């Protein structure tokens, strides 16, 4: 569908500079802008592209001050990135969504299926599963016995949800993620052999959660693993048994959280972060990429970095020393040599 600049400005409560009648039907990056598309400028380092982009409409901050002429129509908004998200959702809402239960899907007679639910080919819906209204289950998904899925949730192909797990409203589960696999629990017997500990809990995903592709969230050994409202998990993340993640916390790819860790709300975990088990992280904490958490973080709003992770100020000072270690080592060798020579000189006297 095509939208004019004026229509888009009305949706975004923005103001127009340029041709309000120009129409667009697609999106583009500002550096790869094409005619009949809309783009955005959020990061100042991309500003030079706005003067050469071929896109017809550009979303900019209300206080943006161009340094030269711009051929595109501008829509000034409070936050171009959020405005883009709004328009992308609007575009998605106009696409044709699948409906109905494919005849190649298996749906148990004891399952309860709401209105306007889509279930794709070769999906398996086990006994006593509940799926609420307007939810999409794409092909080759497995929903185990007694699983509950809320309304307006999207479960993409090859997702596996083990028995008794609970998925809330407006969640998005991307391809091949696994919800409710057994936690990594073993005991060693008197002969030194590992004996599997039964994992009798489940996983609870509250509302408005997004889980990336190939991410695994293990069931609790006793009681649930809980992912709170608004959490966003990237691809290839491992969440172990009985972990609790607070509201609106986000985690980037390749992060691993060990068992029984409790993470506060509004935290930010960059990529490739690891944590030991049984620790607590306060609210609003930021963990820099590649860090390893080995102990509790009790100060709200703090920033940690490193392996093991330490406060960001100390981490930067430590790095300033670490990167100069070869030179410092040479200095130490030279000092040792001078001390040895001085001792020899003193002894000779």
Identify the band that residue 287 occupies on the pLDDT scale cut at 50, 70 and 90.
very high
How are strands ordered across the β-sheet holding 280-281? 112-113, 130-131, 148-149, 166-167, 203-205, 225-227, 244-245, 262-263, 280-281
pLDDT at 89: 86
Q: What is the pLDDT of residues 179-226, one digit of tens each?
A: 999 999 999 999 999 999 989 999 999 999 999 999 999 999 999 999
What is this structure's pTM?
0.84
Classify the C-alpha dihedral 116-109-138-179 as positive or negative. Answer: positive
SS3 assignment, position 322: helix
- Active-site residues, by number, are 241
Q: What is the pLDDT of residues 322-336, one digit of tens each?
A: 888 888 899 999 999
What's the rounded Cα separation, in Å, for the pair 27 and 44? 20
The pair of structure tokens assigned to 328 is 């410092």
Residue 54 backbone phi and psi in degrees, to 5: -90, 0
Mean of per-residue pLDDT scores for the chain = 95
Q: What is the pLDDT of residues 26-57, one digit of tens each?
A: 999 999 999 999 999 999 999 999 999 999 99
Residue 227 backbone phi and psi in degrees, to 5: -110, 115
What's the rounded Cα separation, in Å, for the pair 56 and 71? 8
> What sections of 205-293 are H helices per DSSP?
none
pLDDT at 204: 98
Q: What is the pLDDT of residues 213-254, one digit of tens each?
A: 999 999 999 999 999 999 999 999 999 999 999 999 999 999
Q: Could you give all domains of the chain from N- to C-terminal order, each with its CATH number?
A: 3-93 (3.40.1390.10), 100-313 (2.160.10.10)
Q: What is the pLDDT of residues 44-100, one digit of tens each?
A: 999 999 999 999 999 999 999 999 999 999 999 999 999 999 999 888 877 778 889
What's the rounded Cα separation, in Å, for the pair 238 and 124? 24
């Amino acid at each position: 569908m095509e939208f004019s600049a004026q229509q888009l400005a009305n949706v975004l409560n923005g103001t127009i500079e340029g041709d309000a009648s120009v129409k667009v039907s697609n999106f583009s990056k500002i550096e790869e802008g094409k005619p009949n598309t809309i783009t955005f400028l959020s990061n100042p380092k991309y500003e030079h592209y706005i003067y050469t982009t071929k896109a017809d409409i550009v979303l900019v901050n209300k206080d943006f001050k161009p340094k030269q002429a711009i051929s595109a129509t501008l829509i000034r908004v409070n936050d171009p990135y959020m405005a883009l998200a709004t328009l992308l959702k609007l575009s998605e809402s106009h696409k044709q969504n699948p409906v109905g239960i494919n005849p190649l899907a298996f749906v148990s007679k004891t399952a309860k299926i709401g209105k306007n639910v889509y279930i794709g080919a070769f999906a398996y819906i086990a006994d006593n599963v509940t799926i609420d209204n307007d939810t999409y289950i794409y092909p080759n998904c497995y929903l185990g016995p007694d699983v509950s899925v809320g309304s307006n949730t999207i479960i993409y192909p090859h997702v596996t949800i083990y028995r008794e797990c609970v998925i809330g409203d407006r969640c998005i589960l991307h391809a091949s993620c696994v919800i409710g696999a057994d936690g990594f629990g073993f005991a060693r017997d008197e002969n030194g052999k590992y004996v599997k500990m039964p994992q009798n809990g489940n996983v609870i995903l509250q509302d408005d959660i997004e889980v990336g592709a190939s991410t695994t969230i293990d069931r609790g050994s006793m009681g649930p693993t809980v992912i709170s409202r608004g959490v966003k998990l990237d691809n290839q993340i491992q969440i172990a048994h009985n972990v609790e993640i607070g509201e609106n916390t986000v985690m980037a790819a390749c992060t691993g959280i060990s068992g029984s860790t409790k993470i506060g709300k509004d935290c930010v975990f960059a990529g490739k972060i690891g944590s030991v088990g049984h620790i607590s992280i306060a609210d609003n904490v930021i963990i820099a990429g590649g860090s390893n958490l080995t102990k509790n973080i009790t100060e709200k709003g703090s920033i940690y970095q490193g392996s093991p992770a330490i406060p960001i100020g100390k981490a930067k000072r430590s790095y300033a020393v670490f990167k100069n270690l070869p030179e410092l080592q040479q200095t130490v060798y030279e000092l040792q040599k001078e001390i040895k020579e001085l001792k020899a000189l003193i002894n000779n006297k």
